[in-house]
Amino acid sequence: MTSMLCVTFEKAELIGILANVIFLSVGGYLLYLVIRALKKYIGQK
């Protein structure tokens, strides 16, 4: 019983880590796009 709970917890932790990595990757990419757009916008002025 305890070992099953442990396995479930480990899986949940792994999913959480994966979600964080994906979130950071997407967030970083969006930030990059925003900065690039801002540079282009400032360059046009």
pLDDT at site 37: 96
Rounded Cα gap, residues 45 and 37, in angstroms: 13
Instruction: Evaluate whether residue 34 is within a structural domain.
Output: yes
pLDDT at position 10: 82
How far is residue 28's CA from residue 4's CA, in Å, rounded to a whole number?
36
Residue 12 inside a domain? The answer is no
Domain assignment present for 44: yes
What tens-digit pLDDT sequence spans the chain (45 residues)?
567 667 777 888 999 999 999 999 999 999 999 999 999 999 987
- Per the structure, the count of domains in the chain is 1
Question: Using H for helix, E for strand and C for coil, what is the string for the chain?
Answer: CHHHHHHHHHHHHHHHHHHHHHHHHHHHHHHHHHHHHHHHHHHHC
User: Residue 34: its pLDDT value, please?
Assistant: 98
pTM of the predicted model over 0.75: no
